[in-house]
A and B are shown apart, each in its own frame.
Chain A
Amino acid sequence: SYELTQPPSVSVSPGQTASITCSGDKLGDKYACWYQQKPGQSPVLVIYQDSKRPSGIPERFSGSNSGNTATLTISGTQAMDEADYYCQAWDSSLYVFGTGTKVTVL
């Protein structure tokens, strides 16, 4: 079965850049998206089709996908960005979520 692997945690200082990776076999051949989930809340889509932002998502969120790795980048990280982040990919019949990364803003 297809698997997506993320680092368990990422720490970042306020105002700095956080990068979260998502690794999977030939992931670059698929579309990747990213979700933010804060404690006790439902996930929110922050990036779709590798690098597109839904309406209402701040410009500091950006994404890329190539080879075996998709990356979510948060530029100028704010305290409100502290959350769990999940990547997700899809193919003809299935969806797969990544293992999740807890982003801590120190």
Chain B
Amino acid sequence: QVQLVESGGGLVKPGGSLRLSCAASGFTFSDYYMSWIRQAPGKGLEWVSYISSSGSTIYYADSVKGRFTISRDNAKNSLYLQMNSLRAEDTAVYYCARDTRGAGMGAFDIWGQGTMVTVSS
């Protein structure tokens, strides 16, 4: 079945780094844009970044620009988020999501279960 599984979350000190991964299965990964979306504890959803199907187009939310890097490996059906210079306000559950922008829908139709990132000293 269509599935996204995130990994790589954990506890990190302010200023530290973490790399999240998202393994896709059940669909042709290389056909789809992909996004990272986060949700701070008890708060709403915040889009973080998206990457086009080929990896040639990338955008970031202003809150993470210059600190986070999104990438993908279509041969491995995997999406990544490299997070540097982490701050307390980056503490959140991070979801990867299948992004239907390429089909003109602009919606996230498949979500992973999320991975928790905690930034604290």
Contact = CB atoms under 8 A, between A and B. Distances in A.
A99 interface: yes
Contacts of A95: 35, 47, 50, 106
Interface in A36-64: 37, 42-45, 48-49, 54
B59 A90 contact: no
Interface in A48-106: 48-49, 54, 86, 88-90, 93-100
Given A1-B62, A33-B106, A90-B107, 5 more contacts: A43-B45, A43-B95, A45-B108, A88-B107, A97-B46
B100 A94 contact: no
Given A95-B47, A97-B45, A100-B45, A42 B107 contact: no
Contact of A33 (B61, B107, B111): B107
Interface residues of B, number: 22
A49 B61 contact: no
Q: Which of B35, B45, B59, B61 has the most CB of A within 10 A?
A: B45
A100 B59 contact: no
B55 interface: no
Contacts of B112: 42
Interface in B19-48: 35, 37, 44-47
Nearest to A44: B111
29 contacts: A1-B62, A31-B106, A33-B106, A35-B45, A37-B45, A42-B95, A42-B114, A43-B45, A43-B95, A43-B108, A44-B111, A45-B107, A48-B105, A48-B109, A49-B106, A54-B109, A86-B45, A88-B107, A88-B108, A90-B107, A93-B59, A94-B47, A94-B61, A95-B35, A95-B50, A96-B47, A99-B44, A100-B44, A100-B45
Nearest to B112: A42
Nearest to A48: B107
Contact of A42 (B59, B100, B105, B113): B113
Contacts of A35: 45, 108
A44 B2 CA distance: 14
Nearest to A49: B105
B101 interface: yes
